[in-house]
Amino acid sequence: MNPKIVTFGPVKVAGYLHKTSHSNNTLPAFWGEVSADGRHSKLHSQDFVKAHRDYGVCFNATGDEFDYLLGLEIKDGAKVPEEFHQYEIKQGEYAVLSAPPAPPDGNMAPSIQKLWGDLYNWLGETTEYAHAGGGAGGADFELYNCDCTDSVECESCKAGVMVVDVYVACTNKSKEEDNANIT
């Protein structure tokens, strides 16, 4: 497994905030609730939306607990209603892995959870990169390739597949060491 290392951001996202933990991961149920009660459709109908690709942003990690924002990218200068939480993903380097393509109505949760574990394990084993957490690199997040709106089906969904990319903020250890040696 060799993740791609990419530079990404900054991106402003707005959507629904959920508090969860690694030991009691309630994210699959949260996604189900937001889809079933109409909040997901409501989010996609907002004027502030720049692109209809869903983000699942993990931030404010404290021990086992963290905040999760299911959101969409915001247009520059757009006014976002107060009911939506906003977060800016900082520009930085990210290690990225993609889940295997799955049907849009399929359960992708196990594949996504495996990607998270694979990326964190890789960062723990590699000598080149370290996890940046919410610091210099920004938050860790999921980015869904689906760009559907209520009236237009995206190309991925027309093809019957959904792909999720998981981005984990990282720093190059050798660059950090070089910067530390500058006096």
Token duo for residue 31: 């996604």
Angle at CA of residue 151, ends 107 and 166, nearest 5°: 35
The CATH code for residues 4-180 is: 3.20.80.10
Cα of 40 vs its chain's centroid, Å:
16
pLDDT (tens digit per residue) in 10-24: 999 999 999 999 899
Beta strands in the chain (DSSP E): 4-8, 11-21, 49-62, 65-74, 85-89, 92-98, 129-131, 140-144, 164-172
Residue ranges per structural domain of the chain:
4-180
pLDDT (tens digit per residue) in 97-156: 988 777 666 777 888 888 999 999 999 898 899 888 654 446 899 998 766 655 566 666
| Helix/strand/coil (H/E/C) assignment for every residue in 163-176 | CEEEEEEEEEHHHH
Model confidence at 166, pLDDT cuts 50, 70, 90, reads very high
pTM for this structure? 0.86
Strands 85-89 and 11-21: antiparallel
